[in-house]
Amino acid sequence: MSRGVRLFDAHCHLHDPRIAHVAPQLINTATQSGVLRFAVNGVCEGDWGLVKQMGEQYPSVIPCFGLHPWYVTERTPDWLKVMKEFFSSTPSAAVGEIGLDKGSHGKTIDFQLQVQCFRQQLELAKELDRPVSIHCIRAYGDLLEIMQSIGPFPAGAILHSYLGSAEMAAGLAKLGAYFSFSGYLMSMKQQKAKKMLKAVPTERILLESDAPDGLPTLNTSSLVWVPGDPSVPQEGGSTLPKETLNHPANIRTVLNYVASLIEMPEEEVAEIGYKNAMRVFSYPASKFVYKTDVLSYDNQICAMLICAPRVLCKP
């Protein structure tokens, strides 16, 4: 990959307590490898303040506020009012992470309650005219039905770590969906992943790390490790423990895999993902204004982050 490659991490959690204490180092390292922007997604009321703080501290961070389906039972009676207040005080923020989950953990949480909170937040995203980052596990039929009833979403609906079928891609794209790919893509059978990727419109492709989760499981010799992570395999070890943390710089490995499956040069896929993300996150009051060429401005941000990172308080 050439040094001029630009990458946009369309979905991550740099405020997560597992990595927040080393956030300046993570951002610095990722920036040096070409990752110039980060959409940092909150998942519950308790971390919205941390996400807001990170957005204020780092020029490259887009703060996002959302109630994840895993945390809907922990919400307070005034959660939606509180969320709206965060958006009012943070006009540069997007919506996320929200969603639906029928996976092993999601099955333990009342699905109708998930749907209720999901619909409320989708409607808020429409009202605010902001992009929304969506988590979906084994509930794509429900997702499509709900999005059809509320959408379309001209500001963009980012299907984070998309693992849905190729057949659903066209219908979701018509509603304004973007398809964001992380290390989880490597869990799919390669032929199925290839078919799905080729069904996604090029102008709707995004790349993400989902750090500290979503660790790529292929080409592990090129991975960047989170400083101080005790689960990192020792030299010569080949097995990655489940709890090994993902570094946002590993979006480069995701790029490599996606480019190989759609049979395009990495540089081209990186630029496609970067420009698509810039477009979707360039809403009114956003930190960023989408331009055909913003490389010089990105280089300024890169220098700022490397020279003067500020420490985020550990939750």
Q: What is the pTM of this model?
A: 0.91
Asked whether 9 and 30 are in contact (CB, 8 A), the reply is: yes
Work out the percent of the chain whose per-residue pLDDT is above 90.
84
210 appears as a binding residue in the annotation: yes
Report CA-CA distances (Å) from 36 to 3, 156, 194, 270.
13, 21, 27, 12
Q: Please, what's the b/e burial string for 203-231 (b: 16 or more CB within 10 A of its CB; e: otherwise)? A: ebbbbbbbbbbbbbeeeeeebbbbeebee
pLDDT, the chain, mean: 91
Average pLDDT over residues 276-286: 95
68 appears as a binding residue in the annotation: no
Give me the CATH number covering residue 124. Answer: 3.20.20.140
Lowest-confidence pick of 65-74, 230-239, 281-290: 230-239
Question: Has residue 145 been placed in a domain?
Answer: yes
Under DSSP, is residue 64 helix (H, G, I), strand (E, B) or coil?
strand
Average pLDDT over residues 283-287: 92
pLDDT, one tens digit per residue, over 165-192 is 999 999 999 999 999 999 999 999 999 9
What pLDDT score was predicted for residue 238? 64
Q: What is the C-alpha separation between 142 and 21, in angstroms, rounded?
A: 37
Given a cut of 80, is residue 1 above it in pLDDT?
no
Q: Is 263 left (phi over 0), alpha (psi -120 to 50) or beta?
A: left
Given a cut of 90, is residue 140 above it in pLDDT?
yes
Q: Which two structure tokens, joined as six digits, stand for 261?
A: 């499956």
Question: Has residue 291 been placed in a domain?
Answer: no
Determine how β-strand 7-12 pairs with β-strand 35-41: parallel
Question: Has residue 303 been placed in a domain?
Answer: no
Domains identified in the chain, total number: 1
Given a cut of 70, is residue 311 above it in pLDDT?
no
Which domain range does residue 178 map to? 7-229+241-281
* Measured torsion, CA atoms of residues 207, 210, 211, 216, in degrees rounded to the nearest 10: -70
160 appears as a binding residue in the annotation: yes
Question: Has residue 151 been placed in a domain?
Answer: yes
Question: Has residue 201 been placed in a domain?
Answer: yes
Question: Has residue 66 been placed in a domain?
Answer: yes
11 appears as a binding residue in the annotation: yes
What pLDDT score was predicted for residue 315? 31
Question: Has residue 268 been placed in a domain?
Answer: yes
Given a cut of 70, is residue 62 above it in pLDDT?
yes
What pLDDT score was predicted for residue 3? 54
Please report which confidence band the pLDDT of residue 239 belongs to, taking 50, 70 and 90 as the band edges. confident
Given a cut of 60, is residue 301 above it in pLDDT?
no
Report CA-CA distances (Å) from 146 to 151, 175, 241, 286.
8, 11, 37, 27
pLDDT, one tens digit per residue, over 23-57 is 999 999 999 999 999 999 999 999 999 999 999 99
Given a cut of 80, is residue 82 above it in pLDDT?
yes
What pLDDT score was predicted for residue 30? 98
The CB density around residue 292, as the number of other CB atoms within 10 Å, is 6
Question: Has residue 294 been placed in a domain?
Answer: no
